[in-house]
Amino acid sequence: MSSMGRLSAVAVAVAVAISSMGCGPKAVRGDEVAGLDDQAMSTGLDRRDLQKLLQENMKALESAPIIKRWEGEQMPAVAVLPLRNETSEHVESALDALISDMETTLVNAGHVRVISMEQQGNLIAQIRQQYSGAFDPSQISTWGKQIGARYIVTGKVFTSDERQAGERRVQYFMFIQVLEVETGQILFQHKSSVTKAII
């Protein structure tokens, strides 16, 4: 091959390499790509799944008998505790973000006074430590009294995972509960679910 031919081959290779660099993955914003949040990227829980689970539960709470009780008590104090993650997913920070969504829903409904747990740094550290070990429901009463709440809203997320012939299905369940601090009695509980799969 002549030196001119070699130079042309190198130029073509460089041009192909440069053009292929523009074809690789690039960062985008959700509003730049229609439907970006619609597609599942994996069988893991994402923001859309968690929002769906929470919205279904909070909608059920809005029509539950506990609302009439709260109306009769004229704005009792309520605190939202972290949701327990009983899955293999590392979604603790996403579940923590849901606390603010739950507080917002409760505040805007206007039936209760919401006590922010963010202002209770020491107590929230104790609760997180308790949640990482064997959970003791009797602690709910202690925590509620420490922060001056009459009711606690909390919950947990579970999973069921199945695999067969290269396919995978993961079912997620979110329970939301309202507990009376004084007795630990469950006054409201609702379950929502979402399924993710690789088929």
* Rounded Cα distance, 196 and 35, in Å: 18
Burial of residue 179 (CB within 10 Å: 0-12, 13-18, 19+) is: buried
SS3 189: strand
- Looking at residue 7, its pLDDT comes to 47
Q: Give the burial class of 81: count Cβ atoms within 10 A of its Cβ; 0-12 exposed, 13-18 middle, 19 or more buried.
A: buried
Each residue's pLDDT expressed in tens, for the chain with a length of 199 residues: 555 555 455 455 555 555 555 566 777 676 777 766 666 667 777 888 889 999 999 999 999 999 999 999 999 999 998 888 898 888 888 888 898 899 999 999 999 999 887 655 555 555 656 555 555 556 666 666 677 889 999 999 999 888 888 888 889 999 999 999 888 899 999 999 999 888 8
Q: Which class in CATH covers the domain with range 47-198?
A: alpha beta
How is 123-161 classified by DSSP, letter by letter? HHHHHHHHHHSS--TTHHHHHHHHHT-SEEEEEEEEEEE
